[in-house]
Amino acid sequence: SEDVIASGAGDDAICLYAEEKSTMVEGPSYRLILKKEKAHDMDVNCVRWCPQDPRVLASASDDGTVKLWELWGNLLD
């Protein structure tokens, strides 16, 4: 999604951030809107939005899995 930034890291979680539109800070500022704890069993090393459906996020992990998520953190079957 172009208005939401996704990240993954060594805590096995996936985080989604939205840009703060009304901040007085110089440059962009983002707020955490969702943290999916234990999204994987090991480090999350890649997240990508689906180009055909911007509500779908793919995540890959050192646990050898790739998972598909809908925008608000629900695992897709």
Q: Is the dihedral of CA 61, 72, 56, 20 positive or negative?
A: negative
What is the distance between the alpha carbons of residues 15 and 56, in angstroms, rounded to a whole number? 14
pLDDT value at residue 1: 53
∠ at Cα 19 (18, 22), nearest 5°?
130
pLDDT per residue rounded down to tens, the chain (77 residues): 568 899 999 999 999 999 887 766 677 788 999 999 999 999 999 999 999 998 999 999 999 999 999 987 788 76
Q: Is the dihedral of CA 58, 61, 66, 67 positive or negative?
A: negative
